[in-house]
Amino acid sequence: MLILLGIMGCGGGGGGEDSSQRLYPLHTGITSTVFWIGEKADASNGGIANLSSAWDEKWTARYGGVDSPDHRDGYRPAGFIPRENPFYVALPFNDFDENGVRKAGLEKRIPWYEPGLPEDRSYCKNRWVEIAKGDRKVYAQWEDAGPFGENDAAYVFGDASPRNALNDHAGIDLSPAVRDYLGAEDIDEVEWRFVDAEDVPGGPWKEIVTVSGVDWPLWYRPDVNTTWQWQLSGRVNLSYDVELYDIDLFDSEISLIDALHDAGRRVVCYFSAGSFEAWREDAGNFPPEVLGRALEGWEGERWLDIRSPEVRKIVERRLDLAVEKGCDGVEPDNVDGYTNETGFPLTYTDQLDYNRFLADEAHRRGLSIALKNDLEQIEDLRPWFDFALNESCHLYDECDRLKPFVDVGKPVFNAEYSRVYLSDPSSRASLCEDAEKRGFHTLILPPELDDTYRYSCR
């Protein structure tokens, strides 16, 4: 049931001389669920992590830690004082699309819309919401999109029922503080409506008010359901019905990348960030002192001294080339030199610093970035990288190390090269069953990555 209530308000929620009556729908009989900042992905939340929000990539860090629902100090998390309001909710609408562009038609959807809002601000984030259960009423700020949706404007701003079918058609996520104030269960029934800031009464929800703006990457981030193809040599086969193609940066013409985009594909471009390849067009730019030992089994390839400023300058130019060609992201290879005999005294810290440099520079250019292998540093690098790309973790029994990416809702793309998976249906079935349980996107491919054969577990 939905009732229209007359509210005096203006613009984005502040008072003013031009206040006029605005009607905000009262949504009744809405199923509520509980979520929290820092929540990891698991089966209970549909594999959706809440370390980041729809508007803030650093949501957990900005808040100050994990807003555990089980360890409370009154309405706050135990162990730290949050930097932002612990009274928050999620509603299934985002005023930005996945590429960081404001959605069209917001002026027809959002009742408090006013033109000219700066690009680092959201029409939705921080908006006040009144939630009631029985005779209890609480006020919270809108800080994430969900549950299970970002485009349900007809429900959020109108009189429709939630489109989401999960958890009894849940239509609002409540923070632990909101849950506790209302005395709500993990799945319950509430009513809610928007309110303007001047109409929010005093209470614990006003002790810390969230004012932060949009702070998330404006680049492509593949989600956990993204399908992919990986081909680094030979004429690229464009016929696969997948979302993401991973192809060679140097060998791929702009026309190829344009053709993939025209077909609705995303393009990640491969280059080696940790090794010298004698056949590349920029090979002459590397000074002799940065060239180390040969990579075993790869003729014409040598390890690089990743501590060198000259190496970093060349890599930055490669990232610029990826932008010029229209790549959506990059796959830097050989980013685990410190675990190999490179000819240089590279340390764990050297590699960590270099890999974070790669991620920061890619993101600064609007590029997504993959963490290629480097399993030992996954915990330290997970926040910097958008997805993981692994080779042969099933063969070497190393797949458990990739779990941190899955836990936060970042996809893991895995390639297996052993021909036993082609010749032995039982081994292939076992491989794919394990990959499916882990949430991986596993392909069986030739080591040359030339598309002579391909088997997808999905």
> What stretches of 115-158 adopt beta strand conformation (E)?
128-133, 136-145
CB 228 within 8 A of CB 242: yes
Residue 220: C-alpha distances to residues 91, 98, 99, 303, 329 (Å): 23, 7, 6, 30, 7
Domains observed in the chain: 2-206 (2.40.40.10), 228-456 (3.20.20.70)
DSSP secondary structure letters along 173-191? EE-HHHHHHHT--SEEEEE
Half-sphere exposure of 170 (CA within 13 A, CB side): 23
pLDDT of residue 46: 60
Specify the 3-state DSSP secondary structure of 90: strand
Q: What was the pLDDT predicted at 366?
A: 83
Contact by Cβ (8 Å): 455, 431: no
Q: Which residue carries 């700066």 as its tokens? A: 118
Q: Is the pLDDT of residue 353 over 50?
A: yes
Q: What is the pLDDT of residues 173-215, one digit of tens each?
A: 999 999 999 999 999 999 999 999 999 999 999 999 999 888 8
Q: CA–CA separation, 53 vs 49, rounded Å?
A: 9
**Over the chain, what is the mean pLDDT?**
91
pLDDT at residue 99 in the model: 65
Unique residue bearing structure tokens 């053709």: 259
For the segment 109-121, what is each residue's pLDDT rounded down to a tens digit?
999 999 988 877 8
Closest by alpha carbon to 251, among 233, 274, 230? 233
Strands 20-34 and 2-9: antiparallel
Cβ–Cβ < 8 Å for 249, 236 = no
Which 8-state DSSP code applies to residue 131? E
Q: What is the pTM of this model?
A: 0.60
Q: What is the pLDDT of residue 42?
A: 65
Q: For position 364, what pLDDT does the model report?
A: 81
Q: pLDDT tens digit string along 256-315?
A: 999 999 999 999 999 999 999 999 999 999 999 999 999 998 999 999 999 999 999 999
Mean pLDDT of 87-91: 98
How confident is the model at residue 10, as a pLDDT?
Answer: 29
With 60 as the cut, is the pLDDT of residue 18 above it? no
Q: Cα dist. 79→42, 205, 455 in Å?
A: 24, 19, 49
Mean pLDDT within 410-424: 95
Can you tell me the mean pLDDT for 322-344? 97
**Burial of residue 271 (number of CB atoms within 10 Å: 0-12, 13-18, 19+):** buried
Give me the pLDDT at residue 215, please. Answer: 83
- Assigned token pair, 4: 């229209």
Residue 3 pLDDT > 60: no
Beta strands in 290-367 (DSSP E): 291-294, 301-304, 329-333
Give the span between the Cα atoms of 319 and 368, in whole angstroms: 11
Residue 218 has pLDDT above 70, yes or no: no
Task: Using alpha carbons only, give the angle 112, 116, 121 rounded to the nearest 5 degrees.
Answer: 75
**Cβ contact 138:131 at 8 Å:** yes
pLDDT at 119: 76
Angstrom distance (rounded) from CA 385 to CA 368: 8
Percent of the chain with pLDDT over 70: 92
123-169 pLDDT, tens per residue? 999 999 999 999 999 999 999 999 988 999 999 999 999 999 988 99
pLDDT value at residue 383: 82
Tokens 């004429």, residue?
Answer: 235
Q: In this predicted model, what pLDDT tens digit does every residue of 366-400 receive, in sequence order?
A: 899 999 999 999 999 988 899 999 999 999 999 99
| Cβ within 8 Å of residue 253, ≥6 positions away | none
Helix (H) or strand (E) holding 244: strand 244-248
